[in-house]
Structure formats: structure tokens, C-alpha cells
């Protein structure tokens, strides 16, 4: 059975199991087990099949069995696990994926021996450091320690299923103060990474238990983040493992448990906007900077190729005038606000700095930053550079980006490196203040830990060279409420509201509707939830649903000018002119000085070809204090359609003279002149329209001919003359 067939069968089996269609799943599984030619797998399949056959037999015979649900859950869980074991058995010898290579390697490696070797080398480092022995010897042993750390990581993430002995070893390591925090964190990440490939209930239970028994808050939160990610990835499967549900229940007594879950949920949700933010930086912020004065651009260029040092842009007061005039100040403020809200504004810069050899090693993507790293000191020629300590106090960079920045600095010429050091050193106290502020607030500290670790995970799953070999939560529309075991802890209205508002604000309207709907189903939603669902449906072009939700808001809150206007807009989109007019009239009664409402009501009459009533409203709007020429165009167009050519001409004269005319203005002006028989002037206006429209004759011709129904059909210009004027325009354009 080749790799493609293995993948196809695995997907089919898991699909059947997810739908509880066990007979079909077992049939496909039997084909895989037969291909494996593994006696142990054949025996396990036989046991499973027999157990399930007896269960069905007892059921049809009417035998009451109070343990039936529990037995079925165990059979389902065993079927999933047997599928995974069979996939590994078939794929390990032929797949080039890292997991299978590491898994085969594990057969000759003992985790217990790795841990023992690590302690031996770590003790040597401590002994040599205390006696101030030569740095070269210490560096060599540190390198050996880091190599063993990588081997431990590789063993933990690729072992399946984990043995009781390995599990006991991990519990000892995680609970023992002899082992450094960064190694424990690597172990937690390794368990998550292995689980993302093949589900192992023992690993997941250990992650949940770590949240309860570990003392270090960062490790606790990392273990919970890892567990939540896995629970979501396997949300259709988790229900068959009572031990997982029980482990979650035991966490309810932890003081921050529900708050941490809600925090993790919101931070995972925020990653949905990372690609949008990165695109915004590249497509709007960077191009604007490139247009700026070259001297200023050189001053604020970041040290990474093509990068901008956002934090340092406003440091020099002499630059402020340039910044204000270019509009960059406003963009900086916007990006700073996004960053303060947890937006990942740095990924577009640091994605360019993940090509150092350090990131070829899988475990290094998950390695917490520590200034005692030999990999970093080696980059600085084997010496401990002062920068490595300063980076501990940078609370806004995730670990992965700290390593990226240090390796980049180490690769620059010494003169440039010293300049960077001076700039960063000057901000040391500011970094410490930010860190102290976080430490003093439990909420801010926990938020920062969660946010930065999720950023590390996001970078791995999006940027690692072999990322396609891994199953990522960030490739899905994350909704933790779909995991039934998590739902009780995160379905409170404040949490749902926060998530709904995030989606709504960032234009993920279908997701916003989903979460506003959950709030409504909780019977604890503010009526504005209906209004926002209405707007979201309207933005997606679902006008009937929008009207339905706007109406629900109206029933709850009464008349509201904005709500009524939106309903009118929806009716107009549906071409229900009478209802649109009714609602715009109602809105205008509530806000009689609104130029916008007056114009929109006029547009509704225009849609209905009621030009006289449309003109009355346009004239009314034109006399309002805040009209600012907004009524000129509809008055001019209506005047043309009602045969008032002189009046239309006067208004188009004013538009092209005083109001920044568009291509459409020149096109309409040309129509007026053509109706009046002033064809040479009409051709000139059409030529201007063509030029403003991007010099695309075919597009202009399409727009011109679309107006034939008015100029020929309503106003009586002959079809042949209308076509000839188009050709005259195109000829004039070609000859200019």
C-alpha cells in the first residue's frame, strides 16, 4: 500500500469514526491491517471486531447493559488508536516525513538514558562554571547539553503511543527543579507537536495535569495552550476518552482556569487577523514609506533587510513634520493600537529572518529564549554578548523573534553591531519598566505569556520549511465552542461578545454572526447583537436576513434612525422600491436635517423613474447647510432625463469646474452636450472621461453604450448618431 492509499484509507476511516459509522470504519481498517502484515495489529482488530459484534447482538436481542455507552466509547477510542498504529506501521518505512524518521530512530533510544546523560552534562557545566574554568570547555559541554535537549524533544514528539515508563520519566522531569524551565517547555511543546500528528490520550492528559501541578505560571499556561489546541483539533474524538473530561473537571478548582481558557480562546482568535495585518503592513504602510523623503526613510529603516523599525520612527522630533505631512503618523498610531491589542505587527518583518541554520532544527522553533544559550554565544564568536541579557527584558518580542534578531545582529559588521547595541542599550530601562508593569498585573502577565507563545506557534506552523508535514490549528476557523468538553468554560456572554466584536471589527462577518447567534441562544444578548448580525448579513449581500435581524432590533429597542436607514438600503438592494421609500421617509422624519437621507430617498424615487419627486428631494438636499455640492450630480442627471438640458448643462459646468470631476462626470456632461447637438464639445468631454478612466477604450465603450437606454431610448438621439459619436471619440483619443 503506497503513501497515497494510506492517506486515503486513514481519512476515510477517521471520517466514518467521526460519524460513528463503526462497521464501515472497521472494513477499511481491515484492508490496512492486512496490508501491514503485523500479527499484533491483526489480533487487536480481531478483538475489536468481536467486541463490537457481540454488542450489536446483545442490542438486537434486547439485552439491557448499563455499561454499553462506556464500552462503545472504549471500542471507538481503540479503533482510532489502531488506525494510527497501522498508518505508522505502513508509512514508517516509505515516508520521508520527519515524524516517521524520528519514530524509527526511537526504537534504539531510551528516554531514560537521554535524561540521565543530560543531567551528567548539566552538572559538568555547573561545576566548571563555579570553578571559572576556560569558556571553551564550558561551551563544548553546553553544546552537548543542547544536542541532548534536541534529542529529548525529538523522542517525546515522535514516540507513539507513549509508554508508561516514558510517561513516568516526563512527570519526573517536569516536576523536578533540577531541570531548567526551557527544557520543560520543550517537553510540553513536543507533546503537543506529536499529538497534532497522532492522538495519544496519555500525552494530552499529562498536558492537562501539568496545568494543575506545575508551579511556574509560564509553564502552566503553555501546557494549557498546548492541550486546548489538541482538544480542538480532535474535538470529534475527545468524547470517547472519559479520562480527558475528568482531567478538565479537576482543573475547575484552579483559580485562573476559566479566565485562562477565555484568554487562550481570544488570543487564538486574534491569529485570524495576522495575515490581514501582515498584508496591511506590506501593501499600505510600506509603500507609503517608500514614497517618503529618502533621507527620512534611511533614518528609520530597520536593520533587517527591507524592515522598518516601527518603534523608533517617532524618536527624532525633527522627523515629525515629514511624518505628519506624509500621513505616516496616523498609520503609526493605528499600528501601535493594533500592537497594544495583541496584534502581531512584527511577523512580516521577522518572517524574513527565519533562514538562519538555527531554524533548521525543529525543536529550536519552540525553545524559550534564555541568555545562557550556546547557540547564541557561538554566533557572537563564542563570547557572551551584552545584548543577550538585554533581550530578556523585551516583553513585546516572542522567543522565536528574539533569536532571529540576535542572529541577525551577530551577522552584521562589528561597527553596525555596536551601533545597534547602543540603540538597544539606551532603551534597556524602558524595556525593564514594561516588564515590571506586566509583572505587577496578573492579567497583563498572563495575557503576555499566552500571546507570545501563540505567536511562537504561529511562526512555526506558518514559516517552518517543512510545515506541510504538520497539522495546524491556524489553518482552520477556530471556534473552541465546537469542542463540547470546553464549551461550559467559554460560552459565557462576555467571552462570546469579545470574540464576536473582534470578528465584526475585522470583517469576518460569518464568524461574527455565529458568535452573536450563540449570545442570542444564551438569552443574554444585548439587542445590538441583532443589529450587528443584520449589518454582517447586509455586508455579505444577504439582505433578507439583514432585514429580519434589523426588525428584531426594532421590536426590542423601538425606532432608530440608523437601523431604519439600513433596512431601507436593504429594501433598495432588493428592488422593493415602495418599502425602501417608506423606510427612508421614516428615517428622514427622525432626522430631518440629514443630507444623506434626503439624497437616498431621492435615489429611491429615481430608481422608480419618478424624476419629479426625485428632483424635489435633490433640490431640498442642495439647500441644506451641510450639502457641500453633494446634490449637484443627482440634480444634473435628473435634469437631463427630464429634458431640462440647460439646467443639466449649468450643473455639469459647475461640477467640472469646482468639484474635482470624475470620469463619470465627463461622460454625463458629454451626454448633455450630445442631446443639445453640440457634438464637438461632447466628443471632447468623452475623451476626458476616457483619459480619466485609465485609457481603456473597451471599458469606456462599454460604459458609453450602457447609457444608450437613456440617451437614445428616453431623450431621442438616433442610434446611428450615438454610435458615430463613440467612434469619433475613439478616433480623437487615438490621434491625440
Q: Specify whether the CB–CB gap between 193 and 157 falls below 8 A.
A: yes
Does the pLDDT value for residue 534 go beyond 80? Answer: yes
Mean pLDDT calculated for residue range 225-239: 96
Sign of the torsion formed by the C-alpha atoms of 322, 325, 328 and 333: positive
Does the pLDDT value for residue 508 go beyond 70? Answer: yes
Q: What does the pLDDT read at residue 338? A: 53
Q: What does the pLDDT read at residue 523? A: 80
CA distance 528 to 506: 18
CA distance 41 to 56: 23
Mean pLDDT calculated for residue range 681-693: 89
- pLDDT tens digits, residue range 147-171? 999 999 999 999 999 999 999 999 9
Q: What does the pLDDT read at residue 107? A: 84
Q: What does the pLDDT read at residue 134? A: 65
645 grid coordinates: 438640458
493 grid coordinates: 456572554
Side-chain half-sphere exposure of 330, counting CA atoms within 13 A: 6
CA distance 305 to 579: 58
pLDDT band at 305; cut points 50, 70, 90: very low
368 grid coordinates: 524559550
Q: What does the pLDDT read at residue 283? A: 56
Residue 308's DSSP bridge partners are 301
Q: For residue 352, what is the DSSP state?
A: G
User: Which residues of the chain form CATH 1.25.40?
Assistant: 638-736
CA distance 82 to 203: 17
573 grid coordinates: 438592494
pTM: 0.82
Mean pLDDT calculated for residue range 448-470: 94
Mean pLDDT calculated for residue range 652-663: 86
Secondary structure (DSSP) of 623-651: TSTT-TTTTHHHHHHHHHHTT-HHHHHHH
Q: What does the pLDDT read at residue 284? A: 53
Does the pLDDT value for residue 43 go beyond 70? Answer: yes
Give which of 86, 80, 60, 66 is closest to 19, Cα–Cα.
80
Q: Specify whether the CB–CB gap between 526 and 557 falls below 8 A.
A: no
How far, in whole angstroms, is CA 295 from its chain's centroid?
A: 35
Mean pLDDT of the chain: 86
CA distance 619 to 587: 19
SS3 346: coil
Mean pLDDT calculated for residue range 643-667: 90
Give which of 61, 55, 49, 50 is closest to 25, Cα–Cα.
49
Total count of residues recorded for the chain: 736
- pLDDT tens digits, residue range 702-735? 999 999 999 998 888 999 999 999 999 998 877 6
pLDDT band at 288; cut points 50, 70, 90: low
CA distance 631 to 722: 28
Q: For residue 301, what is the DSSP state?
A: B
* Top mean-pLDDT range of 327-341, 369-383, 391-405: 391-405
- pLDDT tens digits, residue range 364-391? 999 999 878 888 888 877 677 777 777 7
Task: Using the structure block, give the residue that is written with the C-alpha cell 448643462.
Answer: 649
pLDDT band at 316; cut points 50, 70, 90: very low
Does the pLDDT value for residue 280 go beyond 60? Answer: no
Lowest mean pLDDT among 209-213, 393-397, 564-568: 393-397
Q: What does the pLDDT read at residue 713? A: 85
Alpha-carbon dihedral angle through residues 278, 284, 288, 290, given to the nearest 10 degrees: 50
CA distance 367 to 406: 14
Q: What does the pLDDT read at residue 317? A: 45
Q: Specify whether the CB–CB gap between 344 and 455 falls below 8 A.
A: yes
pLDDT band at 580; cut points 50, 70, 90: very high
Mean pLDDT calculated for residue range 352-373: 91
Mean pLDDT calculated for residue range 682-703: 87
SS (H, E, C) 669-718: HHHHHHHCCCHHHHHHHHHHHHHHCCCCHHHHHHHHHHCHHHHCCCCCCC
Instruction: Give me the CATH topology for the region 638-736.
Output: 1.25.40
Give which of 219, 212, 215 is closest to 183, Cα–Cα.
219
Q: What does the pLDDT read at residue 442? A: 82
CA distance 156 to 159: 6
Q: What does the pLDDT read at residue 596? A: 93
Does the pLDDT value for residue 568 go beyond 90? Answer: yes
448 grid coordinates: 503576555
Q: What does the pLDDT read at residue 659? A: 65
Percent of the chain with pLDDT over 70: 88
496 grid coordinates: 462570546
Give which of 368, 348, 354 is closest to 302, Cα–Cα.
348
Q: What does the pLDDT read at residue 318? A: 45
Q: Specify whether the CB–CB gap between 588 and 561 falls below 8 A.
A: no
Mean pLDDT calculated for residue range 186-204: 97
Q: What does the pLDDT read at residue 136? A: 77
How far, in whole angstroms, is CA 358 from its chain's centroid?
A: 26
pLDDT band at 395; cut points 50, 70, 90: confident
Residue 551's DSSP bridge partners are none
* Helix (H) and strand (E) counts in the chain: 41, 0
Tally of CB atoms within 10 A around 259: 15
Mean pLDDT calculated for residue range 337-346: 55
Q: What does the pLDDT read at residue 214? A: 95
Task: Using the structure block, give the residue that is written with the C-alpha cell 477499511.
Answer: 28
pLDDT band at 281; cut points 50, 70, 90: low
pLDDT band at 199; cut points 50, 70, 90: very high
Side-chain half-sphere exposure of 284, counting CA atoms within 13 A: 12
Give which of 302, 179, 250 is closest to 485, Cα–Cα.
250
Does the pLDDT value for residue 693 go beyond 80? Answer: no
Does the pLDDT value for residue 491 go beyond 60? Answer: yes
Q: Specify whether the CB–CB gap between 16 and 22 falls below 8 A.
A: yes
- pLDDT tens digits, residue range 104-152? 988 888 999 999 999 999 888 877 766 666 677 888 888 999 999 999 9
Q: What does the pLDDT read at residue 371? A: 75
Amino acid at each position: 500500500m503506497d503513501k497515497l492509499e494510506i492517506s486515503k484509507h486513514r481519512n476515510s476511516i477517521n471520517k466514518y469514526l467521526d460519524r460513528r459509522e463503526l462497521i464501515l470504519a472497521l472494513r477499511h481498517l481491515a484492508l490496512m491491517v492486512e496490508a501491514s502484515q503485523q500479527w499484533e495489529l491483526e489480533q487487536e482488530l480481531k478483538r475489536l471486531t468481536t467486541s463490537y459484534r457481540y454488542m450489536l447482538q446483545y442490542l438486537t436481542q434486547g439485552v439491557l447493559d448499563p455499561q454499553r455507552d462506556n464500552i462503545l466509547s472504549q471500542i471507538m477510542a481503540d479503533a482510532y488508536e489502531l488506525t494510527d498504529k497501522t498508518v505508522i506501521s505502513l508509512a514508517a518505512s516509505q515516508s520521508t516525513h520527519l515524524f516517521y524518521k524520528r519514530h524509527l530512530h526511537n526504537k534504539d533510544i531510551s528516554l531514560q538514558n537521554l535524561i540521565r546523560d543530560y543531567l551528567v552534562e548539566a552538572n559538568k557545566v555547573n561545576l566548571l562554571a563555579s570553578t571559572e574554568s576556560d569558556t571553551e570547555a564550558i561551551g563544548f559541554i553546553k553544546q552537548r547539553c543542547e544536542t541532548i535537549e534536541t534529542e529529548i524533544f525529538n523522542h517525546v514528539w515522535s514516540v507513539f503511543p507513549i509508554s508508561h515508563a516514558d510517561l513516568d520519566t516526563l512527570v519526573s522531569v517536569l516536576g523536578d527543579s533540577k531541570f531548567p524551565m526551557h527544557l520543560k517547555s520543550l517537553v510540553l511543546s513536543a507533546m503537543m507537536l506529536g499529538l497534532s500528528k497522532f492522538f495519544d490520550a496519555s500525552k494530552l492528559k499529562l498536558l492537562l495535569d501539568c496545568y494543575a501541578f506545575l508551579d511556574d505560571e509560564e509553564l502552566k499556561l503553555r501546557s494549557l495552550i498546548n492541550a486546548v489546541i489538541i482538544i480542538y483539533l480532535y474535538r470529534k474524538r475527545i468524547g470517547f476518552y472519559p479520562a480527558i473530561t475528568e482531567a478538565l473537571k479537576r482543573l475547575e478548582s484552579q483559580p485562573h482556569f476559566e479566565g485562562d481558557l477565555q484568554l487562550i480562546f481570544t488570543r487564538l482568535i486574534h491569529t485570524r487577523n495576522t495575515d490581514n495585518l501582515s498584508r496591511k503592513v506590506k501593501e499600505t504602510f510600506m509603500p507609503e514609506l517608500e514614497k517618503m523623503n529618502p533621507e527620512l526613510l534611511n533614518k528609520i529603516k530597520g536593520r533587517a533587510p527591507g524592515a522598518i523599525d516601527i518603534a523608533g520612527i517617532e524618536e527624532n522630533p525633527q522627523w515629525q513634520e515629514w511624518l505628519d505631512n506624509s500621513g505616516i503618523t496616523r498609520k503609526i498610531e493605528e499600528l501601535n493600537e493594533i500592537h497594544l491589542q495583541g496584534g502581531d505587527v512584527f511577523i512580516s518583518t521577522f518572517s524574513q529572518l527565519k533562514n538562519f541554520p538555527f531554524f533548521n532544527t525543529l525543536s529550536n522553533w519552540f525553545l524559550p529564549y534564555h541568555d545562557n544559550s550556546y547557540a547564541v554565544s557561538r554566533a557572537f564568536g563564542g563570547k557572551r554578548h551584552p545584548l543577550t541579557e538585554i533581550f530578556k527584558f523585551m516583553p513585546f518580542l516572542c522567543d522565536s523573534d528574539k533569536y532571529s534578531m540576535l542572529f541577525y545582529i551577530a551577522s552584521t559588521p562589528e561597527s553596525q553591531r555596536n551601533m545597534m547595541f547602543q540603540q538597544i542599550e539606551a532603551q534597556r530601562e524602558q524595556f525593564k519598566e514594561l516588564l515590571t508593569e506586566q509583572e505587577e498585573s496578573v492579567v497583563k502577565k498572563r495575557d503576555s505569556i499566552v500571546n507570545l507563545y501563540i505567536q511562537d506557534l504561529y511562526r512555526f506552523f506558518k514559516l517552518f520549511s517543512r510545515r506541510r508535514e504538520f497539522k495546524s490549528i491556524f489553518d482552520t476557523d477556530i471556534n473552541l465552542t465546537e469542542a463540547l468538553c470546553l464549551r461550559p468554560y467559554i460560552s459565557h456572554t462576555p467571552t462570546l461578545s469579545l470574540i464576536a466584536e473582534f470578528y465584526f471589527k475585522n470583517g469576518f462577518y460569518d464568524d461574527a454572526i455565529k458568535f452573536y447567534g450563540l449570545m442570542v441562544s444564551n438569552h443574554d444578548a444585548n439587542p445590538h447583537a441583532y443589529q450587528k448580525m443584520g449589518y454582517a448579513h447586509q455586508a455579505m449581500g444577504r439582505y433578507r436576513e439583514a432585514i429580519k435581524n434589523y426588525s428584531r432590533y426594532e421590536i426590542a429597542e423601538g425606532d432608530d434612525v440608523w437601523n431604519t436607514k439600513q433596512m431601507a438600503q436593504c429594501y433598495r438592494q432588493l428592488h422593493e422600491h415602495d418599502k425602501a421609500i417608506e423606510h427612508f421617509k421614516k428615517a428622514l422624519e427622525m432626522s430631518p436635517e440629514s443630507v444623506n437621507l434626503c439624497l437616498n430617498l431621492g435615489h429611491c424615487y429615481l430608481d422608480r423613474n419618478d424624476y419629479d419627486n426625485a428632483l424635489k428631494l435633490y433640490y431640498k438636499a442642495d439647500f441644506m447647510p451641510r450639502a457641500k455640492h453633494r446634490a449637484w450630480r443627482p440634480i444634473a442627471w435628473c435634469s437631463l432625463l427630464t429634458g431640462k438640458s440647460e439646467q443639466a448643462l449649468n450643473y455639469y459646468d459647475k461640477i467640472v469646474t469646482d468639484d474635482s470631476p470624475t470620469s463619470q462626470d465627463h461622460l454625463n456632461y458629454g451626454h448633455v452636450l450630445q442631446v443639445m447637438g453640440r457634438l464637438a464639445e461632447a466628443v471632447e468631454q468623452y475623451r476626458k472621461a476616457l483619459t480619466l478612466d485609465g485609457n481603456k477604450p473597451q471599458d469606456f465603450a462599454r460604459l458609453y453604450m450602457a447609457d444608450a437606454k437613456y440617451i437614445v431610448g428616453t431623450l431621442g438621439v438616433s442610434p446611428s448618431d450615438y454610435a458615430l459619436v463613440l467612434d469619433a471619440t475613439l478616433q480623437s483619443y487615438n490621434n491625440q
